[in-house]
A and B are shown apart, each in its own frame.
Chain A
Amino acid sequence: EPEVTQTPSHQVTQMGQEVILRCVPISNHLYFYWYRQILGQKVEFLVSFYNNEISEKSEIFDDQFSVERPDGSNFTLKIRSTKLEDSAMYFCASSDNRPYEQYFGPGTRLTVT
């Protein structure tokens, strides 16, 4: 069964560094999402992406964040200058033309020190 993959599974970075989280959505999917989960808290929506542009973004998704689909298969989340509070699990999700049917990747745990 096709699945969403994310790399790396765990990333440790120093405060102020740029980090790129990578996702490979399911190949025929059209809608792409990033969610964040701070340890012990709920999963929060960050951004949705469709037709090579952002469809919606949350208040969390400020100018430090950006998303890109550089090559038609990868979907990336970049954090320009990481802060301690960016430490969280980041989940990528994708869906076909039924955007309510989202498939989640296993997550990338980001630790900012």
Chain B
Amino acid sequence: AQKVTQAQTEISVVEKEDVTLDCVYETRDTTYYLFWYKQPPSGELVFLIRRNSFDEQNEISGRYSWNFQKSTSSFNFTITASQVVDSAVYFCALSESNTGTASKLTFGTGTRLQVTL
């Protein structure tokens, strides 16, 4: 069975601080995908990134960066120079998937990030 753990329930930072959101996953599959979603107060799920299990390269997109470590089953998300607009709940998710079969996403419990001035 697959499982995603986000141990940080809530984080508060002051604007311009860097913040890292942790995600640890469990899966028995060798092929899987990891995701991060942002859920602002309006409630929709905003896709941020997808990573497959064969690609351990770290990724940077503007102020966002992701660190994928298979050895520790972690897929952490860092926001550099946080802004008030980053305030949201962030979900990490896992899909055990092969092309050709439907596949569910398993979400973590989310981390609420509060960025204040």
Q: Which A residues fall within an 8 A CB radius of B?
A: 31, 33, 35, 41-45, 48-50, 55-56, 58, 89, 91, 93, 97-104, 106-107, 109
Given contacts A102-B95, A104-B45, 12 further A-B pairs with CB under 8 A are A31-B102, A33-B104, A42-B91, A43-B93, A58-B104, A97-B100, A99-B100, A100-B33, A100-B50, A100-B97, A102-B105, A107-B43
CA distance A57 to B91 in the complex (A): 21
B 92-114 binary contact with A (CB < 8 Å = 1; else 0): 01010101111111111110000
CA distance A58 to B101 in the complex (A): 16
Chain B interface mostly: loop
Q: Are A100 and B103 in contact (CB under 8 A)?
A: yes
Quote the shortest CB–CB distance from B101 to chain A (angstroms). 6
Quote the shortest CB–CB distance from A3 to chain B (angstroms). 11
Q: Are A48 and B44 in contact (CB under 8 A)?
A: no
Interface size on B, residues (CB 8 A): 23
Chain B residue numbers with a CB within 8 Å of A42 are 91, 107-110
CA distance A104 to B104 in the complex (A): 12
CA distance A91 to B37 in the complex (A): 13
Quote the shortest CB–CB distance from A54 to chain B (angstroms). 9
Q: Are A48 and B102 in contact (CB under 8 A)?
A: yes
With A98-B99, A101-B50 known as contacts, the answer to whether A56 contacts B104 (CB < 8 A) is yes
Q: Are B105 and A45 in contact (CB under 8 A)?
A: yes
